[in-house]
Amino acid sequence: GEDVEQSLFLSVREGDSSVINCTYTDSSSTYLYWYKQEPGAGLQLLTYIFSNMDMKQDQRLTVLLNKKDKHLSLRIADTQTGDSAIYFCAETFDTGFQKLVFGTGTRLLVSP
Amino acid sequence: NAGVTQTPKFQVLKTGQSMTLQCAQDMNHEYMSWYRQDPGMGLRLIHYSVGAGITDQGEVPNGYNVSRSTTEDFPLRLLSAAPSQTSVYFCASSSGTAGDYTFGSGTRLTVV
């Protein structure tokens, strides 16, 4: 079955690195995504990784995928106060329509 | 480009009332979908459409109807609102290509 879990809260200081973790249960996922949601706003796609990749880097963002453990992480380098938001991981499956299955979201708080 | 436009942004309904949440996209995407976001539960799929005239149920379809008469529009109808439908509703469209998923800014619905 499809189940995606995240820790609810993470607090870091400005300039530190943040690591947000996600575990999923369905190994048939094709792509795994990270979305950012700022207060009162919609979802902004940050990055995504194909399920046969181990790592993807995009500027300050690094995504690591451990398929054996079904574990996905998002590392934000040099975290800024503007990074404070809720971060969702999500997975899709090769079923035609790319249904997104979301995690519960991790609220990141960056303090000065 | 407007992307995905949702109206209204806020709505308060009384129990038993009906209403339609509007969603329009101008990207000529085949796929459109409705999600609801509840605290601590991430986003869950309500209904989706793979093209004009074709709709299907998602994870939580009860109490909602959809139709897709044009490529651009995908309205969500609440037939008889219940307090359990208090939520934030997001419409999304996609081309089916990985990462090409656009969300609207959401409709915050309160049922009293």
Per-residue pLDDT of B75-88, as tens digits, reads 999 999 999 999 99
| pLDDT for residue B39 | 83
* Chain A residues touching residue B48 (CB < 8 angstroms): 97, 99
pLDDT at B72 over 70: yes
**Host H or E run for residue A56:** strand A55-58
| pLDDT for residue A2 | 64
- Of B47, B75, B74, B50, nearest in space to B59 by CA: B47
A-facing residues of B in 58-87 (CB < 8 A) are 58
- Of B77, B34, B31, nearest in space to B52 by CA: B31
Is B48 in contact with A100 (Cβ distance < 8 A)? no
What gap in Å lies between CA B68 and CA B45, rounded to an integer? 16
Lowest mean pLDDT of A11-15, A47-51, B40-44, name the range.
Answer: B40-44
| pLDDT for residue B91 | 96
| pLDDT for residue A95 | 63
Closest Cα in chain B to A92? B98
Minimum distance, in Å, between the CA of residue A38 and any CA atom of chain B:
11
Choose from B4, B59, B103, B105 for mutation: most chain A CBs within 10 A: B103
pLDDT at A96 over 80: no
- Give the pLDDT band of residue A93 (cuts 50, 70, 90): confident
* Chain A residues touching residue B10 (CB < 8 angstroms): none
- Give the pLDDT band of residue B1 (cuts 50, 70, 90): low
Selected residue with higher pLDDT from A3 and B65: B65
Is B41 in contact with A92 (Cβ distance < 8 A)? no
| pLDDT for residue B38 | 92
pLDDT at A83 over 80: yes
Minimum distance, in Å, between the CA of residue B18 and any CA atom of chain A:
24
Is A43 in contact with B42 (Cβ distance < 8 A)? no
pLDDT at A52 over 90: no
Is A104 in contact with B42 (Cβ distance < 8 A)? yes
Q: A8, exposed or middle or buried, with CB in 10 Å at 0-12, 13-18, 19+?
A: exposed
Amino acid at A89: C
pLDDT at A17 over 80: yes
Mean pLDDT of chain B: 94
Q: Which residues contact B83 (CB under 8 A, 6 or more apart)?
A: B15, B111, B112
